C-alpha cells in the first residue's frame, strides 16, 4: 500500500482494505457505515457475559439507576453471583458475611455503558489478533460493558465466545458481519448482484454473526436484495445508507441507520442545484461542501419525524464525524490525549497524513469555517430533532477512528449528544437503556435494578448534572467482578502495549 490505511472509514481504492467507515480517496475519505432494523432477533437474548461468584457491595453512594431521571441518595448496591440483589437505602442494607465491600462515599453508581459502534485495532493487519483480549480490557476499563463490533471477523466471534465463557474479561459482545460492500475492501464481502446479496446474507447468518453490516457502494437493487434475504433469514441489517437508497426507504425497511448517512442529501432544498452532499466519502470532496448552503430547515424536522415514526434506531456517531470533518482538532489536541499512545505507528502515520490533507489551507476557500460550523450544527439539529420526535438514539463511538480510542471515545460521544441538545439523562439513555432495548436484552442489563447483571461503574460526580462525569471512573463491576482503579489502569496500559507495541 502506498497510502496509509484509514481502516474504519471505508476507502475506495484499497486504502482501507478492511474497515469501512470512511473512504479516503486521494484527497478524500469517505464515511461508510452500517444499518440496523428496529428489533434484534430473539436469539440475542442469550447471556453474553460470564457472572462472577460471591457477593459485592458498593456502599454510601448515590445511584443513577436510569429507570428514571432521579438519583437515589444515601444508597447501596449489592450483587450476588454476578446479579444485582439489592438497590436501596444504605441504612437498610444487610451485608452477607464474606461480601467484598467497596466504600463508594461521594461517588455515583451508573449502569455499565454500551458502545453500539466500535472496531478493534486487531481487526486490521497492523495489529495481531492476539491483541483482542487486551483491547476489550481497555473498553471495560473505561466503563464499557456491552459493545457492538461493527465490522466482524472470525476472531471476533471467538472473542464473543471467550467473554461469554469468562475466559477473558471483556464487554458482552455483539458482532456484526464483515462489511457488505460494492467494492473490494478489508474484511469485506463484495456484493454487486442479487445472487451475491443472497449468498452474503446466508453466509453471515450461517457463520454466526449478529447483524448484516452494510458499508459503501451498494446499488439500490442489491441493497433491496440484502434486505429481502435478511428478512427471510431473520437477521437484522445495520449500517451505512447510500443516498441512492435514501434514509426514508432504509428506515421503512427496518435498517438500523448509522452516521446520519444520507440525511443531508434528504434535507437539500428542492431548488438546490445539486443532489450530492457530504455523506460517506463525499465529505472529502470539496465540490460537495457548497451543498450545505442549500439545506432546508423544514426538511430537517420532517425527516427526523419520519425516521422516528419508522421505529428504527439511529446511531449518529456524532463525536467522530463532528470532530473529524466539522469542528476539527489540532495535532496537538489529538496527540495530547492518552488515546494517542495506543495507535500502532504505521496506522498513526496514515491518519496524520489524511488529517493534513483534509485540513490543508487550500481547502478553506470552499470548506469555509462557516460551512464547517454548519456541518456540525445541522448534524446536531438532526440529533435533537430525532430525540424530540421520539426517535431512538444509540451511542456509538466509531472508535478507534481519527485518534479516538474505544472506551474513552464513548464518553466523548455522550458529550457530543449533549452538545446537540440532549439532556445528560437523555444522552446517558443512548448508552444504557436504549441499546439494551435495541438488542432485546432489557431484562438483563441497561439499568441498576434487582435481577440485572451487576455491570456498573462507580464515578465521581453526578453525570446527570455534568455528562463529563461519566469518565471520572473509580471502579467498574462487570458481571459482579470488581475492578478497582489500579487494576483498570493496568488494563489500559496492557492495551496500549498490545496495539502500539506490536510493530
Ligand atoms: Zn465504524
CATH number at residue 337: 3.20.20.140
Cβ atoms of residues 15 and 267 within 8 Å = no
Residue 31 Cα to ligand 1 midpoint, Å, equals: 9
Q: Is residue 311 part of a domain?
A: yes
Q: Is residue 9 part of a domain?
A: no
The pLDDT of residue 47? 83
The pLDDT of residue 14? 32
Q: Is residue 5 part of a domain?
A: no
pLDDT tier, 116 (very low <50, low <70, confident <90, very high otherwise): very high
Residue 454 Cα to ligand 1 midpoint, Å, equals: 28
Residue 119 Cα to ligand 1 midpoint, Å, equals: 6
Residue 188 Cα to ligand 1 midpoint, Å, equals: 13
Residue 497 Cα to ligand 1 midpoint, Å, equals: 23
Average pLDDT, the chain: 91
Q: Where are the beta strands (DSSP E) in 278-354?
A: 313-315
Residue 150 Cα to ligand 1 midpoint, Å, equals: 6
Contacts of 31 by beta carbon, 8 Å cutoff, 6+ apart: 9, 10, 21, 22, 23, 240, 259, 261, 279, 280, 281, 283, 321
**Per-residue b/e over 355-364, b at no fewer than 16 CB within 10 Å?**
bebbbeeeee
Q: Is residue 483 part of a domain?
A: yes
Q: Answer whether the bond into residue 400 is a cis peptide, omega within 30°.
A: yes
Q: How far, in Å, CA of 226 to CA of 195, rounded? A: 10
Residue 9 Cα to ligand 1 midpoint, Å, equals: 7
The pLDDT of residue 502? 61
Cβ atoms of residues 266 and 299 within 8 Å = yes
Tell whether the model's pLDDT for residue 92 goes beyond 90: yes
pLDDT tier, 380 (very low <50, low <70, confident <90, very high otherwise): very high
Residue 273 Cα to ligand 1 midpoint, Å, equals: 31
Nearest one of 362, 285, 278, 376 to 329, comparing CA atoms: 376
Tell whether the model's pLDDT for residue 324 goes beyond 90: yes
Q: Do the bridges between strand 22-25 and strand 28-31 make them parallel or antiparallel, or are there none, so unpaired?
A: antiparallel
The pLDDT of residue 132? 98
pLDDT tier, 124 (very low <50, low <70, confident <90, very high otherwise): confident
Q: How far, in Å, CA of 69 to CA of 71, rounded? A: 7
pLDDT tier, 3 (very low <50, low <70, confident <90, very high otherwise): very low
The percentage of residues in the chain with a pLDDT greater than 70, rounded to a whole number, is 90
The pLDDT of residue 503? 53
Tell whether the model's pLDDT for residue 19 goes beyond 60: no
Q: Is residue 10 part of a domain?
A: no
Q: Do the bridges between strand 392-393 and strand 313-315 make them parallel or antiparallel, or are there none, so unpaired?
A: parallel
Tell whether the model's pLDDT for residue 412 goes beyond 60: yes
Q: pLDDT by residue (tens digit) across 232-289?
A: 999 999 999 999 999 999 999 999 999 999 999 999 999 999 999 999 999 999 999 9
Place of cell 447483571: 453
Arithmetic mean of pLDDT, 143-166: 97
Residue 319 Cα to ligand 1 midpoint, Å, equals: 12
Q: Is residue 54 part of a domain?
A: yes
Cβ atoms of residues 363 and 29 within 8 Å = no
Residue 325 Cα to ligand 1 midpoint, Å, equals: 15
Tell whether the model's pLDDT for residue 355 goes beyond 70: yes
Arithmetic mean of pLDDT, 51-57: 97
The pLDDT of residue 126? 87
The pLDDT of residue 8? 65
Tell whether the model's pLDDT for residue 319 goes beyond 90: yes
Q: Find the helix or strand (DSSP H, E) in which 345 lies.
A: helix 345-358
Question: How many domains does the chain divide into?
Answer: 1
Burial status of residue 68 (CB atoms within 10 A of its CB: 0-12, 13-18, 19 or more): exposed
Q: Which of 10-19, 70-79, 177-186, 391-400 has the lowest mean pLDDT?
A: 10-19
Residue 219 Cα to ligand 1 midpoint, Å, equals: 20
Residue 19 Cα to ligand 1 midpoint, Å, equals: 7
Residue 55 Cα to ligand 1 midpoint, Å, equals: 37
The pLDDT of residue 6? 61
Residue 464 Cα to ligand 1 midpoint, Å, equals: 28
Residue 117 Cα to ligand 1 midpoint, Å, equals: 6
Nine cell digits for residue 483: 475492578
Residue 90 Cα to ligand 1 midpoint, Å, equals: 42
The pLDDT of residue 125? 86
The boundaries of the domain holding residue 27 are 22-500
* CA–CA distances in Å: residue 339 to residues 121, 138, 402, 405, 486: 13, 10, 10, 5, 18
Q: Is residue 17 part of a domain?
A: no
Amino acid at each position: 500500500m502506498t497510502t496509509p490505511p484509514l481502516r474504519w472509514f471505508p476507502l475506495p481504492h484499497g486504502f482501507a482494505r478492511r474497515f469501512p467507515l470512511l473512504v479516503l480517496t486521494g484527497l478524500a475519505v469517505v464515511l461508510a457505515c452500517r444499518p440496523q432494523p428496529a428489533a434484534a432477533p430473539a436469539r440475542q437474548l442469550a447471556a453474553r457475559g460470564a457472572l462472577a461468584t460471591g457477593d459485592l457491595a458498593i456502599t454510601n453512594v448515590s445511584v443513577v439507576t436510569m429507570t428514571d431521571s432521579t438519583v437515589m441518595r444515601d444508597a447501596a448496591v449489592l450483587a450476588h453471583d454476578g446479579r444485582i440483589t439489592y438497590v436501596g437505602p444504605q441504612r437498610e442494607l444487610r451485608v452477607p458475611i464474606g461480601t467484598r465491600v467497596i466504600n463508594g462515599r461521594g461517588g455515583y453508581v451508573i449502569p455499565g455503558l454500551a458502545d453500539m459502534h466500535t472496531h478493534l485495532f486487531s481487526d486490521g493487519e497492523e495489529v495481531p489478533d492476539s491483541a483482542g483480549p487486551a483491547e476489550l480490557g481497555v473498553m471495560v476499563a473505561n466503563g464499557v460493558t456491552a459493545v457492538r463490533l461493527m465490522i466482524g471477523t472470525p476472531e471476533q466471534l471467538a472473542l464473543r465466545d471467550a467473554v461469554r465463557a469468562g475466559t477473558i474479561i471483556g464487554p458482552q459482545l455483539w458482532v456484526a458481519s464483515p462489511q457488505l460492500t460494492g467494492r473490494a475492501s478489508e474484511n469485506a464481502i463484495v456484493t454487486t448482484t442479487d445472487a451475491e446479496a443472497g449468498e452474503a446474507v446466508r453466509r453471515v447468518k450461517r457463520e454466526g454473526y449478529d447483524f448484516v453490516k452494510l458499508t459503501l457502494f451498494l446499488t439500490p437493487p442489491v441493497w433491496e436484495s440484502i434486505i429481502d434475504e435478511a428478512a427471510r433469514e431473520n437477521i437484522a441489517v445495520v449500517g451505512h445508507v447510500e443516498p441512492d437508497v435514501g434514509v426514508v426507504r432504509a428506515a421503512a425497511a427496518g435498517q438500523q441507520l448509522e452516521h446520519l448517512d444520507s440525511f443531508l442529501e434528504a434535507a437539500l432544498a428542492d431548488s438546490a442545484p445539486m443532489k450530492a452532499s457530504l455523506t460517506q466519502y463525499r465529505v472529502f470532496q470539496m465540490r460537495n461542501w457548497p451543498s450545505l448552503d442549500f439545506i432546508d430547515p423544514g426538511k430537517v424536522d420532517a425527516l427526523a419525524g419520519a425516521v422516528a415514526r419508522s421505529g428504527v434506531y439511529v446511531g449518529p456517531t456524532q463525536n467522530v464525524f463532528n470532530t473529524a470533518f466539522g469542528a476539527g482538532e489540532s495535532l496537538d489536541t489529538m496527540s495530547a490525549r492518552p488515546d494517542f499512545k495506543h495507535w500502532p505507528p504505521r496506522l498513526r502515520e496514515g491518519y496524520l497524513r489524511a488529517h493534513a490533507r483534509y485540513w490543508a489551507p487550500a481547502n478553506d476557500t470552499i470548506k469555509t469555517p462557516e460551512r464547517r460550523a454548519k456541518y456540525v450544527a445541522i448534524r446536531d439539529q438532526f440529533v435533537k430533532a430525532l430525540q424530540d420526535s421520539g426517535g431512538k438514539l444509540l451511542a456509538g463511538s466509531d472508535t478507534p477512528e481519527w485518534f479516538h480510542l474505544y472506551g474513552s471515545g464513548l464518553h466523548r460521544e455522550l458529550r457530543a449528544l449533549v452538545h446537540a441538545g440532549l439532556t445528560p439523562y437523555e444522552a446517558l439513555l443512548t448508552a444504557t437503556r436504549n441499546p439494551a432495548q435495541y438488542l432485546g436484552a432489557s431484562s438483563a442489563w441497561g439499568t441498576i435494578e434487582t435481577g440485572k447483571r451487576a455491570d456498573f461503574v462507580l464515578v465521581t460526580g453526578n453525570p446527570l448534572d455534568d455528562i463529563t462525569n461519566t469518565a471520572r471512573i473509580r471502579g467498574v463491576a462487570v458481571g459482579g467482578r470488581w475492578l478497582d482503579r489500579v487494576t483498570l489502569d493496568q488494563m489500559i496500559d496492557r492495551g496500549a502495549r498490545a496495539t502500539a507495541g506490536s510493530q
